[in-house]
Structure 1
Amino acid sequence: MQDIGLVTLFNPATRPLAGAIVQDRYDLDCPWHHHDMHQIQYAFEGSIELEDAHGRHLLPRNLAGWIPAGVTHRDSMHRVRSVSLLLSPDLIPQGGDRVRIIRVSPLMRAMIAEAIRWPLDRPLDETGRIFFSAFARLCREWIADEAPLTLPSSTDPALKAAMTYTQAHLAQSTLGAACKVAGLSERTLRRRFRATLGMGWDDYRRRARLLCAVEALSDSRRSVAQIAADVGFESQSAFAKAFQQLTGETPRSFRARTSAL
């Protein structure tokens, strides 16, 4: 992971308190970088991919990414309707030292949408200062409600090859094929996954399938049964059980809640 360094999104001579950057037309894969402001990444439609040293995160519209000032990360966005909010560290002194994936409540979504009124490159009026002060106070509560929807990552070339294969072939991936692309025996691959990622290959594949399902439940009209089959689960009941174990709710209740956002 090579950090290209600080990326400033404003005029250093007039450091803002907070502001928004609309990203609807962005079509890019950012290199590793960091900012000197806290950042929230959110997609109103579609999904953003966000990665830090701990793993890869998928951000459909029910989730947002919290990126504290100074934390190295990279993101991918391809013409999704999204926004980035930047907040001065002075607003949230205890912003943390790692990316967090947080659940988006109706209130948070409404405030993110309202924040677009104040672009980062324009001075805040009094209303804007009051708004972002209130938003920052609420953020202290929101960032504590993390969602367990992330995939660990690794710089190990063999593991990266196995993970890339697994993500590209969710429904059809097998341990044997993952071992073949990684150039490792089954025993070695299992042991290295456990030691490096804290989970086995089977657990990694299940998590990858569920992350894909989260995006589909948020942004498609396919039935729960069809989504379960598309990501590789043998039955809808097995999918529902795994989904509830990870998220704490059923696929249907998850879809109902996120469709209301």
Structure 2
Amino acid sequence: MRNQSLDTLDPTPRAVLAIGTDYAPGTLLEMHSHRRAQFLYGATGLMEVGTDDGAWVVPPHSGVWIPAGKPHRVKMVGVSTRSLYIEPSAAPRSGSLCEVLAVSPLLRHLLIEAVDVPALYDLRGRDGLLMSLVLQEVRRAAALPFFAPLPAEPRLAALCIAFLHQPDVRTSPLAWARQLHQSERTFSRFFRLHTGVTFAEWRSQACLLSAMSQLAMGHSVTTVALQLGYDSPGAFSTMFRKKLGHKPSAFIAA
């Protein structure tokens, strides 16, 4: 099914519904939730997903698992999506957090095929087998670290959200500590307590998420590196390769 509203299909007595939707570049889906769990795959382009728990970037060849009832917002950067909407009782993954998942070649082809399956498919025929297999592949998909957690502590959350909108690798923990009227040592403990990671780890991850989005929108490596505060494109490329295992140019090509 393509470009159809989930609201009209949600009551269908099937554990899995597959819908393909085309979005104009820059489309923003404001905060919303679904009764069913969702696996959202971008066949093209890149997605930015935000929840109260944090921010995710979903690059090509990846998808995002969204638990049932989880409020989320999505920004599309030239995306044609293939979504699975899954009854909570049939959800192949547990937990209350979103996850970015690697999409294997098999899962990709299953998702492409699934959107041509009618809503009321034959459970015992080919379509039923296809939907059962796609659930198994979502279950076994590997989680990817394209995530920056957001703390529940309101003062720290405000600083983190502002940073995600304008990341700068030169931002120091001392600057944030002063804004919170803390010593740098106290702030370091405070930050880790509320996010589960160090300030340096979180800052690097947030810069990576921004870099992936900007590169996907066509910005040059040099432009992205300087905008994020790196001393040179080479320093930025080193960070990118360390995090993802390949250079920014390879990411752009993909």
Give the alignment's TM-score, normalised by structure 1: 0.75
Partner of 2:81: 82
Unaligned ranges ≥5, structure 1: 1-6
CA contact (8 A) 1:165 1:173 kept: no
**Alignment match, 1:3:** none
User: 1:1-261 alignment to 2 at 5 Å?
Assistant: 10-12=9-11, 14-25=12-23, 27-31=28-32, 33=33, 35=35, 37-52=36-51, 54-68=53-67, 70=68, 72-77=70-75, 80-88=79-87, 94-97=92-95, 98-118=97-117, 122-125=119-122, 126-142=125-141, 145-171=142-168, 174-175=171-172, 178=176, 182-185=179-182, 187=184, 188-217=186-215, 219-256=216-253, 259=254
1:109 and 1:129 map into 2 onto residues whose CA distance is: 17
SS in 2 for 1:84: strand
| Aligned residue in 1 for 2:3 | none
Give secondary structure in 2 for the equivalent of 1:249.
Answer: coil
Shift of 1:183: 4.0
**1:89 shift after superposition:** 5.5
Q: CA–CA distance in 2 between the matches of 1:9 and 1:207?
A: 38
**Once the 2 structures are TM-superposed, how far is the Cα of residue 203 of structure 1 from its aligned partner?**
2.6
Asked if structure 2 preserves the Cα contact closer than 8 Å seen for 1:209 and 1:232, the reply is no
* Deviation per residue, 1:202-229 (Å, 9 max, x gap): 3322111111122233x24443333322
Counterpart Cα distance in 2 of 1:9 and 1:205: 42
Deviation at 1:139, TM superposition (A): 2.1
Structure 1: which amino acid aligns with 2:17? G
Please identify, of 146-155 and 78-87, the stretch whose mean Cα deviation from structure 2 is larger: 78-87
Tell me the matched-pair count. 240
Q: Tell me the alpha carbon deviations over residues 22-72 of structure 1, each in whole angstroms, 9 at most, x when there is no partner.
A: 3435742124x453x44211223443333456432122333211234x463
Q: Decide whether aligned partners of structure 1 residues 128 and 137 sit closer, same or farther in structure 2, where only a CA change above 3 A counts.
A: same
Q: Judge conservation of contact 1:89–1:95 (CA < 8 Å) in 2.
A: no
Which consecutive unaligned segments of at least 5 residues does structure 2 have? 1-5
Q: SS in structure 1 opposite 2:143?
A: coil
Identity %: 25
- Higher strand proportion, which one? 2
**Partners of 2:194 and 2:8 in 1: CA distance:** 35
Which amino acid letter does the alignment assign opposite residue 156 of structure 1? Answer: E
| CA 1:177–1:168: 2 relative to 1, 3 Å | farther
SS of equivalent to 1:64:
strand
CA distance in 2, matches of 1:88, 1:71: 11
RMSD over aligned Cα, in angstroms? 3.1
- SS for the counterpart of 1:210 is helix
Partner amino acid, structure 1, of 2:49? L
Partner-residue secondary structure (3-state), 1:81: strand
Q: Aligned partner of 1:196: which letter?
A: H
